């Protein structure tokens, strides 16, 4: 199928290319009848505007890169869904980029630059090399969910230590005996959640242990966790995420052990996807978090390119119960 151009529309209507372009963009100096005629013909001929070419002509794009590294965890789906709606509502576009690595690397950034993105909204932490490179290229990097140690990275995240602490306080109040923290992430986020949880238990002289992420698959993590839970008779497991908590709960049901143990997750995903099983969880307002991030990205896009920013924003948490 042949692409329809502005020249094709102009030729059919006996107008200049400039007049056609202005009509499609609702310019004030073009009459309403002309706008209607141009838009009607554009729809009939299947005209599709070349947004990249238009952006290059203007010297900038309105495209924001959104980076993830996991399709299985519905946390990413929930936040990406929020992100694209917030970005589109502001008149910008989102381009999604998937990296199969634990950290965003330079080759990922090259791909983002090739797509003329003006900023990065990432759920994946960057390498130090990427942090330095994006700062030098004046490509703002907004990291959601993780507190980066790099001053070049803008970090927007939940108070994970407080979230872990809230779960620990529930553990103590409810008189559980042995606590376990289970994670499939090596991020600092995981450490903060465990620290909040373990500090409370240690303060009350309660038993607590951790099964750290060792780079194995989720199936292998769950398999080893089942054996550890039964052997050590844990009665409480705090999981890094709802995703991990749900698959652990299902695995415990297969061995009829689920009624002997309390399971807590993190993210409260049922709030965003009712099809996802309800589970005791730590919740935060992800709508507010993403809205704040998108607003900051767009505010920076409209500032002087020589102006540097460094955002470190923390959002509160609360615990919710499945019933």
Tell me what the pLDDT averaged over the chain comes to.
Answer: 90
Q: What average pLDDT does the segment 217-239 reach?
A: 92
Please name the residues in contact with 153: beta carbons below 8 A apart, sequence gap of 6 or more: 126, 131, 141, 143
CATH 3.30.70.20 fits 160-283, yes or no: no
SS (HEC) of 172-234:
HHCCCCEEEEECCCCCHHHHHHHHHHHHHHHHCCCEEEEECCCCCCHHHHHHHHHHHHHHHCC
Estimate to the nearest angstrom the gap between the alpha carbon of 235 and the chain centroid.
32
Distance CA 135, CA 264 (A): 38
Q: What average pLDDT does the segment 109-127 reach?
A: 94
More confident residue, 25 or 298: 298
Residue 254's CB is within 10 A of a number of other CB atoms, namely 9
Q: pTM score, two decimals? A: 0.81
* Per-residue pLDDT band at 73 (split at 50, 70, 90): confident
The predicted pLDDT at position 92 comes to: 92
Q: What average pLDDT does the segment 300-319 reach?
A: 84
Same fold: 59-157+286-313 with 160-283: yes
The predicted pLDDT at position 222 comes to: 92
Q: What average pLDDT does the segment 162-189 reach?
A: 95
59-157+286-313: which CATH topology? Answer: Rossmann fold (3.40.50)
More confident residue, 55 or 78: 78
The predicted pLDDT at position 322 comes to: 84
Report the candidate in 171, 195, 172, 175 with the shortest Cα–Cα distance to residue 183.
195
Q: What average pLDDT does the segment 190-215 reach?
A: 93
The answer, yes or no, to whether residue 54 has pLDDT greater than 80, is no
Report the candidate in 85, 64, 99 with the shortest Cα–Cα distance to residue 296.
64
Please name the residues in contact with 66: beta carbons below 8 A apart, sequence gap of 6 or more: 80, 83, 84, 87, 94, 95, 96, 97, 121, 122, 123
pLDDT in tens, 87-107: 999 989 999 999 999 899 999
The predicted pLDDT at position 1 comes to: 47
* Per-residue pLDDT band at 305 (split at 50, 70, 90): low
Q: What average pLDDT does the segment 58-64 reach?
A: 73
Instruction: Locate the domains of the chain by residue range.
Output: 6-49, 59-157+286-313, 160-283
The predicted pLDDT at position 304 comes to: 60
Q: What average pLDDT does the segment 242-251 reach?
A: 94
Give the number of residues written for the chain: 323
pLDDT in tens, 135-150: 988 899 999 999 999 9
């Amino acid at each position: 199928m042949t692409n329809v151009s502005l020249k094709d529309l102009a030729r059919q209507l006996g107008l200049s290319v400039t007049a056609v372009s202005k009509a499609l963009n609702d310019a004030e100096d073009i009459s309403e009848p002309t706008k209607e005629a141009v838009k009607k013909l554009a729809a009939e001929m299947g005209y599709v505007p070349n947004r990249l070419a238009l952006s290059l002509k203007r010297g900038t794009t309105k495209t924001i890169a959104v980076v993830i590294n996991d399709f299985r965890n519905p946390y990413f789906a929930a936040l990406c869904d929020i992100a694209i709606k917030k970005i589109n509502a502001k008149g910008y576009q989102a381009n999604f980029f998937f990296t199969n690595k634990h950290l965003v690397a330079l080759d990922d950034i090259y791909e983002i630059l090739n797509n003329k993105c003006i900023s990065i909204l990432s759920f994946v932490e960057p390498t130090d090399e990427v942090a330095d490179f994006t700062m030098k290229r004046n490509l703002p990097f907004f990291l959601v969910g993780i507190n980066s140690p790099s001053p070049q990275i803008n970090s927007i995240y939940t108070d994970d230590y407080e979230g872990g602490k809230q779960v620990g306080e529930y553990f103590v109040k409810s008189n559980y005996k042995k606590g376990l923290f289970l994670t499939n992430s090596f991020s600092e986020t995981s450490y903060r959640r465990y620290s909040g949880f373990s500090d409370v238990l240690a303060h009350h002289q309660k038993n607590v242990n951790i099964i750290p992420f060792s780079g194995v698959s989720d199936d292998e993590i769950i398999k080893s966790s089942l054996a550890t839970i039964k052997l050590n008779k844990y009665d409480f497991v705090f999981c890094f995420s709802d995703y991990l908590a749900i698959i652990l709960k299902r695995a415990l049901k297969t061995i009829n052990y689920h009624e002997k143990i309390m399971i807590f997750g993190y993210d409260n995903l049922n709030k965003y996807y009712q099809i996802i099983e309800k589970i005791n969880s730590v919740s935060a307002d992800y709508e507010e978090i993403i809205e704040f991030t998108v607003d900051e990205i767009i505010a920076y896009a409209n500032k002087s390119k020589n102006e540097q920013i460094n955002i470190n924003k923390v959002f509160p948490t609360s615990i919710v119960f499945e019933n």
